[in-house]
Chains A and B, each alone.
Chain A
Amino acid sequence: MIELAVETIGLCRRFGELEAVRNVNLRVEAGQFFGFLGPNGAGKSTTIKMLTGLLEPTAGQIRILGLDLADDPIGVKSQIGVVPEGLALFDRLTGPEYLSFAGRMYGLDRLTAAERTQELLDFMGLADRAKSLIVDYSHGMKKKLAMAAAVIHGPRVLFLDEPFEGVDAIAAGTLKAMLNRMIARGATIFLTSHVLEIVERLCSHVAIIHRGELVAQGSIDELRSGVSARRDDGQKLSLEQIFLDIVGGERAAVPELSWLE
């Protein structure tokens, strides 16, 4: 029987009159590297916030590794790691203090937290800034630290909101290596990103959300064959072409700006 790492049933979220997420039914199998895509304002961040307990759904059910988030939030949270939008760092702590704090918040004993902190600092190349406050870190260093804090307890499901945004190629390489290692040992990764090339290279499965609704879900090959069959041009499509085809960006006529002509 297939184990589902993330499952949503009829997930909805309203902000007043606006229905930001509408009846989303996601199914992410355990061990998948899953990309969650969508244009700006489509509902990606809202969905990931609901999946990680930062936002209450208006309706619907969220199950992580078979546990209902509403019924057992603590049980769910101890299985997951999160790099949320804005990174959620206590910036008046030093890097080691923050990692040790995060480890203990996820239930590690203090000695294990200290050992893993040291390993993560070395792995992320942050060990030589161990005495600096996080507020003095560069954006890339903060991103690596947030990622380190998200994995310190060895989560079974990792949620990443735009993990590669604002990260240089060297740091991105380090992060990708770590994510691939996690996948190799059976973890599930759920990420949102606007950089479709990265998603195509890393992810085995994707879902596309558009105007709050899930418009496609499956492996990249499944999506590709679906779109290719419709286009019937025999061309091997990139994820960007698949994405544009599904959300309608290619078909829509690009409007002209009168004063720029």
Chain B
Amino acid sequence: MISAPGKSTQLLLVGWLRWRLFVNGLRTATGKLNLAVHVIMGAGIGLGVVGLGVLLGMGSWYAVRYGKPALLSCELWLVFLVWLLVPLLISGFGAEADPVSLLRFPLRHSTFVLLALAHGVFDPAAAACLYWLAAMLLGVAVASLGALRWAIPAFAALALLNLLLNRAIYAWLSRWMAQRRTREILGAVGILLALSGQFISPLASRYGQRALPWVSRLASAVRVLPPGVAASTIVFGRASRVGTACAGLAALLAYCGVFGWLLAIRLRAEYRGENLSETRRPDAEARAPVRAGWNVVGFPPTVAALFEKDLHYLLRNAMACLTLLTPALIILVLSMGRHGSPHPRITGFMLGGSTYFPLGVAYVLLTVVGLAYNSMAYDGPGLPILFAAPVRFRDVMVAKNLLHSIVLAAEVIIVFLLVQFVGGPCPPAVGGLTLAGALWAFLLNLTAGNLVSLYFPRKLKPGQMRRQQASGIAVLVTLGVQVAVGGSATSLYLLSRWAGNMAWCGIGFLGLAGVTWVAYRRVLNLVSGIAWKRREALLAELSRPD
């Protein structure tokens, strides 16, 4: 009988596994292109991270040199929040290697825990935060070598605390996201929280004076949270208030204990083989007659069937539905800012109906075209039937484009009515220009989106937040098209103003829409051939088992 390998051997093996998954992910052209996109984007973000590190180092030097715990606390809050939130909100690169999938092997519990923590350490956001802490430590050292005695343990404790808290949040979120119902509730709560953040500024400008006592109470409460405690530990330590500094360190370690305990509960359950199945208890269902499918006037029955299927999918995806609600909410937020503004005449001009409507429509466009650039993302397991059935892929795309067009039209109508209500009527000329521009931009995005959906698809799961992004190339193309649309529209607008005849702008938009319509039809005619040629790649990417 042989014994299980040692911890270091197991860790090395898992490291090797991660490396092989990464290397094997580069076998396809899409994998290589995605790596190139990540390298380019990573270089840009890396420059920002380095620059911010220099600023943070200088800030911590100033804070320690002149005894400003609030500044140090602000810097540590930044590190704290980036470390916690960024890994949860962005998707990583490469295949996910969940330690739970390794439990079939004789993995020691300690190795399992270390692997869970390693996932947190090797995250790009964590690496950036560790670099920032190092830069801040350097700043502290330059300001006062004596302060290092307190800064090193305080920063180390904060780093450990961040790591434990990040992993605990991830583990608990994963537990809630393992089941469809809790996943969608959590997603909805997440989006509502993100949206409610946009209300802070208008509410502050409206109730600012009355809210001040509450804000100051909140600020003192924030001081006892980890970043504030770490900052106080360093500043009090430098001021030779050893007892207070030691209490601060003890508090940080206590936080580590609490977060470590929360993480340990999840890891213990996972290690013991917790099974969070999707399957629900079958409900007793009343037998109901089968309803006939829909007719969509002007479109063939296959398009109607596909449209019905896509609409069911959209309505059953709580995350997508909530995203589509955001333009209306943004209009409401803007209107609150207008009413609460100390300069209503200025903001009244800036944010009247003539501004709300174009802004709202632009936001609607951005929201809806996001769906068009990865339009088969949720088709996943059912996709083979679209290739096996006697249907042209052109019809599949027409159905998707029809759904996106109807969603866009509905949202534009809602925005128009809301603008009438909260910002006053939008002048017909502005409304007409906006609609002409939107028509062109939408057609252009559909044309590009149909091609990108076929060439750079990415499988997504409904109701899930993490790792739910289009492919890197699709994101780049989407950005490129929006920049091109924005630049062209602005140029056309300015040229028409310069010429003193805004009608030219509208005519220009309609002309561009006409040209784009021709291009859209041409692409649509090519879609069936492209999909047929690329069916293996599409099925491999979108229909692969999880």
List A residues at the B interface (Cβ < 8 Å).
52-56, 73-78, 80, 82, 84, 86-93, 96-97, 99-102, 104-107, 109-111, 113-115, 117-118, 121, 127-133, 135-136, 138, 149
A110 near B295 with CB under 8 A, answer: yes
- Greatest chain A CB density within 10 A among B305, B390, B391, B535 is at B390
- Give every chain A residue within 8 A of B313 (Cβ-Cβ): 90, 92-93
Segment 245-294 of B: residues with Cβ below 8 Å from A:
278-280, 282-285, 287-294
A86 near B293 with CB under 8 A, answer: no
Which of A84, A90, A105 has a CB less than 8 Å from the CB of B379? A90
A69 to B218, CA, bound (A): 70
Majority DSSP secondary structure for residues of B touching A: loop
B290 near A55 with CB under 8 A, answer: no
Within the complex, the shortest CB–CB distance from A122 to chain B, in Å, comes to 9
Which of B279, B287, B291 has a CB less than 8 Å from the CB of A114? B291
Chain A: CB-nearest residue to B287: A127
Within the complex, the shortest CB–CB distance from A13 to chain B, in Å, comes to 10
Chain B: CB-nearest residue to A116: B290
The 6 closest A-B pairs by CB, nearest first: A90-B382, A104-B305, A78-B390, A88-B384, A77-B390, A114-B292
Chain A: CB-nearest residue to B304: A104
Interface mask (B305-320 → A, CB under 8 Å = 1, otherwise 0): 1101100110011000
| Contact of B536 with A by CB under 8 A | yes
Chain A: CB-nearest residue to B310: A90
A110 to B545, CA, bound (A): 32
Our count of residue pairs bridging A and B at CB distance below 8 angstroms stands at 144
B294 near A110 with CB under 8 A, answer: yes
| Contact of B462 with A by CB under 8 A | yes
Chain B: CB-nearest residue to A87: B381
B287 near A56 with CB under 8 A, answer: no
Q: Show 9 A/B contacts (Cβ-Cβ < 8 Å), sorted by A.
A: A56-B533, A97-B309, A97-B312, A101-B305, A111-B292, A114-B291, A114-B292, A121-B290, A129-B282
| Contact of B467 with A by CB under 8 A | no
Which of A90, A114, A128 has a CB less than 8 Å from the CB of B290? A114
A74 near B381 with CB under 8 A, answer: no
B280 near A136 with CB under 8 A, answer: yes
Within the complex, the shortest CB–CB distance from A82 to chain B, in Å, comes to 4
| Contact of B385 with A by CB under 8 A | yes
User: Interface size on B (CB < 8 Å)?
Assistant: 50
Within the complex, the shortest CB–CB distance from B536 to chain A, in Å, comes to 6
- Greatest chain B CB density within 10 A among A55, A105, A107, A111 is at A105
| Contact of B539 with A by CB under 8 A | yes
A101 to B302, CA, bound (A): 9
Q: With A86-B543, A110-B301, A132-B282 given, is the CB distance from A77 to B312 under 8 Å?
A: no
- Give every chain A residue within 8 A of B378 (Cβ-Cβ): 92
A100 near B381 with CB under 8 A, answer: no
| Contact of B532 with A by CB under 8 A | yes
| Contact of B392 with A by CB under 8 A | yes
- Greatest chain B CB density within 10 A among A75, A89, A110, A121 is at A110
Segment 52-105 of B: residues with Cβ below 8 Å from A:
none
A84 near B388 with CB under 8 A, answer: yes
If A88-B385, A90-B382 are given as contacts, then 16 extra A-B residue pairs at C-beta distance below 8 Å, sorted by A number, are A74-B390, A77-B390, A84-B384, A87-B381, A88-B384, A90-B385, A91-B381, A92-B313, A99-B290, A100-B292, A101-B306, A105-B302, A105-B305, A114-B293, A118-B289, A132-B285
B390 near A91 with CB under 8 A, answer: no
B535 near A54 with CB under 8 A, answer: yes
Within the complex, the shortest CB–CB distance from A73 to chain B, in Å, comes to 7
- Give every chain A residue within 8 A of B291 (Cβ-Cβ): 96, 100, 114
